Structure 1
Amino acid sequence: MVPIREVSVLDTTLRDGLQHEERYMSLKNRLRLLDSLVEAGVRKIEVGSFAHPDYLPQFREIETFAMMLPRYENVEYTFLALNRRAVERAIKLKNEGAPIHRIVRGCFSCIVALPCDPYFPKIRYCTMGASITSEKEFAIRPGGGAKMSIRNLKTA
């Protein structure tokens, strides 16, 4: 067995941990939470989603929050963008100076409504092939400067 030299953790508290909260968390409190994560040693943080605020109200101020993010040395910020418009919004913010290091372009390889997730049926779906096409399209945009990832979020 090869000894583990390094463990990389992507913390999703600010995105996944908040997206189902009924009470809105202020941007000031989000920054406090972010500071605590960095103070605890977290270096990769999934900050939020560019989902439509009607579907995920916790992210109604995601553009403002992205621009407020502290520029810590050795801390990477990841954002979730499930459709073309969301990716375009993220790239625009990146070009305006937001510290966006990675955009996760999620996709659904099938449509499955999960009763435990009230937002799932409202999210726009795409096939893996459509997502790969989108990745190529967005990756070549001049000035984008962010890594693009594809993650299959739900499968049958």
Structure 2
Amino acid sequence: MDFIAQYQHDNQLLEQRYTSYKCPEINPYIASIVRRLDISSNIKKAVLAIDSSMRYADTITHSNKATALLTTDLLSALFYRYMAEPFNPEQFKLLTQAVKDQNIWKAQFKETGDLSLIARIETAFIAPFMSLDDTDVVTLIQQSSLNNLTK
């Protein structure tokens, strides 16, 4: 079973356990990029989980707050579980720093509308592992929903 199928299976188990949980769609651009990375399948799944959690957090509204918070919490827990199996302190540090950085960049973007932050936000979880000049990374940045907020 490849890492995406494993990730989806783990989310199906969560959906069975928590009836109000529905796994958000995996960003296909991130999935395509992560598939090519030379990292363990658990780190790949961790990237999918934290990327999905952080993207889903952007959709929280007053009307969906309870289920959205459950979703982001479960995905974050899944991220930490994947990071612990087996524990790699260097990769853990890289990705937890990426979470912090992305939160800062999102806040700055919301405040300033600085377009240069879009690339940082979109690539926060893959940048530690590859060049941002990659054509799939460029496509990821171009397809960002954040680009729609600036028009």
Q: Going by fraction, where is strand more abundant, 1 or 2?
A: 1
Q: Going by fraction, where is helix more abundant, 1 or 2?
A: 2
Same fold, TM-score > 0.5, yes or no: no
Please say which structure displays the higher CA radius of gyration. 1
Q: Which has the higher contact order (CA 8 A, sep 6+)?
A: 2
TM-score by length of 2: 0.28
TM-score by length of 1: 0.28
